[in-house]
Structure 1
Amino acid sequence: MGVYHEGSRAVQDRVGVRDLADHVGRSVGPGIRPVAAAFLELQPLLVLGAADPATGRVWASPLTGTPGFVRATGPHRVSVASRPPLTDPLATALATLGTPVGTLTLDPRTRRRMRLNGRAEPTARGFAIEADRVFSNCPKYLQKREAYELLPDRMPQAPRHATELTPTQAEFIEAADTFFLATVHPDGADTSHRGGNPGFVRVASPTELTWLDYPGNAMFLTLGNLVADPRAGLLLLDWTTGTTLQLTGEARTEFAPDGRRTVHFTVQEAVESPSAVPLRWSAPEYSPANPEPAR
């Protein structure tokens, strides 16, 4: 399987960065290098993206555990000693052999992040992923958080489902500095990160969000996936309380004559889960790369 499919190539050509994308794409491969394996074992948080095989909807979900719960068990294989609760939208997907899954491991302490995509295989303790794409991203737009606490006594509350955003959820989104974005394509799934100063995501209505696509690594994996398949899932995390907001729907990219790219996301379902993540992070230091949000 190549690094890029027709969707990514279409966006690269439109923006005029195909040569740069080819150069960056040489860092992508199926192997998990020792430095990547060591990075994985230090992390308490893993974000996963996949399509629910029952509904076809795409979701992004968090998994947490004591560092070491995610580890490389071979040159192309990762084992995860955890699984989502049965109430999570991806519980069925990760219990199904061969589900395409995209993962993102992010360390706010060092502003490092790593993506590993492949296919899931249920195991006795959780699941494994046979990797077909492994690569790191630059720290651009990633907020620094110096430390975290693991709160084992924090108990998840029942999730709340809706087909549109409440005013409180809209305020939460517009105050966010980070979200995770799951997309799919004919060969698999991918999970990426989006960051910026609060206000970089706008709530246009109870069923629509918008954000600018800031300049990145020129690969255009996410926007390319949306060209091929508009389904997408968003995960927003309250880094203090552990509450999560998962959104599923469809996204499209608007290309303006001045080169700006705006993503429009239509919400089909929202799942808010209070106290879902037993981690409490310190206050953010915003990335110096973050543009000021448009007013």
Structure 2
Amino acid sequence: MFHSGERLAQQKAGFSPESAAIYTAMPQQHQLFYAGLSQFYFSTIDAAGYPVAAVLQGEPGFVQATDENHLRIATASLTTFPGLPALRPGMTAGGLGLDFSNRQRNRVNGTIASVTPDFVTLAVQESFGNCPKYIQRRILPEHQPLRQPERELLAALDADARYLIAAADTCFIASRAPQQGADISHRGGPPGFIGMTQGKLAIVDYAGNRYMNTLGNLLLAPRCALLIMDFHQGAALHIQGTAELVWPQKEGEERCLLIAPEKIVRFRQLLPAAGLAVEFAASTLAVNKKG
């Protein structure tokens, strides 16, 4: 059920999950869930061996389960995230569906089964849900016609980029495990949960489902990608780099991810602007900081 990196991360964190609700096929509830989304978070590996963290957009139904083992994505949605490598059969991929209005999220991991002018089909090898911890409840604007946003390559994090990072309450992290494939997961917290220290991004990693998928991947393969969102402006940063895990040294400390940026891309208008934040469950955060 868990690879060696995940088991090591669980050991370091003091967890010992005896079982996990990770399935080899999508439950019917998950199949129906994906069909209602207008955004789908997606990861794969680029030609340089780095994970890519993307958000794909389309009218509800652009992601559809054709059966319990296959998830079909409209090929046109790939143009909504410039920078995705060309997809081909056999590539590993991960997907995350997240409905911010009710804080529901489900994940799939697998391989690209086919690519046609109309659809990319993902053969699902793992399917599982995640709890709603640290998800900011928000109302996103109505889906807008597909467009290709402009991307700007940055030599370093400038003032605008640092402001976006300091204000962010949501990011997505793409990782990979050797012989396991690509994965993408959500990270969230109050604004400021992503900091900067000595030129590295420092992400407080609050306790989650204890599977330790992302951290386990990073222990084996530290290359990763971050997609840091500014839902109010519709902007985002895509940062590829190398991660280091810092484990608590005393009670009350949180574990932390340190990520050294190596390639930085800014999207001024990746999403429709003014995603209204409705609620952040601060009380949930306070309780779950205890693990």
TM-score, scaled to structure 1: 0.90
1:57 aligns with 2:50: yes
Which position in structure 1 is the counterpart of 2:14? Answer: 16
RMSD, matched Cα: 2.0
**2:93 and 2:181 in contact (8 A); partners too:** yes
1:128-207 matches, cutoff 5 A: 128-152=121-145, 156-186=148-178, 187-205=180-198, 207=199
C-alpha change, 1:195 and 1:115, in structure 2 (3 Å) is same
1:290 aligns with 2:285: yes
Separation of aligned partners in 1, 2:55 and 2:221? 23
Listed as ranges, the gaps of 5+ residues in structure 1 are none
1:229 aligns with 2:247: no
Separation of aligned partners in 1, 2:30 and 2:197? 39
Separation of aligned partners in 2, 1:86 and 1:193? 20
Q: Which moved more, 1:237-246 or 1:272-281?
A: 272-281
Residues matched between the structures, number: 282
Instruction: Report percent identity of matched pairs.
Output: 30
SS at match of 1:85: helix
Residue 39 of structure 1 and its aligned partner are, at CA, apart by 0.6
**1:155 and 1:276 in contact (8 A); partners too:** no
1:272-287 matches, cutoff 5 A: 272-278=266-272, 280-287=274-281
Which position in structure 2 is the counterpart of 1:267? Answer: 261
C-alpha change, 1:291 and 1:185, in structure 2 (3 Å) is same
C-alpha change, 1:123 and 1:22, in structure 2 (3 Å) is farther
**1:150 and 1:280 in contact (8 A); partners too:** no
**1:45 and 1:105 in contact (8 A); partners too:** yes
Separation of aligned partners in 1, 2:125 and 2:228? 26
1:118-129 matches, cutoff 5 A: 118-120=110-112, 121-129=114-122
Residue 280 of structure 1 and its aligned partner are, at CA, apart by 4.7
Which position in structure 2 is the counterpart of 1:71? Answer: 64
Residue 241 of structure 1 and its aligned partner are, at CA, apart by 3.0
Listed as ranges, the gaps of 5+ residues in structure 2 are none
SS at match of 1:246: strand
Deviations 1:74-119 (A, max 9, x none): 1100000134239722232xx2211111111100101100000101
1:48 aligns with 2:42: yes
C-alpha change, 1:133 and 1:279, in structure 2 (3 Å) is farther
Which position in structure 1 is the counterpart of 2:103? Answer: 111
Separation of aligned partners in 2, 1:99 and 1:119? 5
SS at match of 2:37: coil
Deviations 1:2-53 (A, max 9, x none): x3110010111122211xx223x1x10121111111110111110111210x
C-alpha change, 1:76 and 1:280, in structure 2 (3 Å) is farther
One-letter code of the match for 1:180?
F
Residue 273 of structure 1 and its aligned partner are, at CA, apart by 1.6
**1:149 and 1:281 in contact (8 A); partners too:** no
One-letter code of the match for 1:132?
Q
SS at match of 2:8: helix
1:39 aligns with 2:39: no
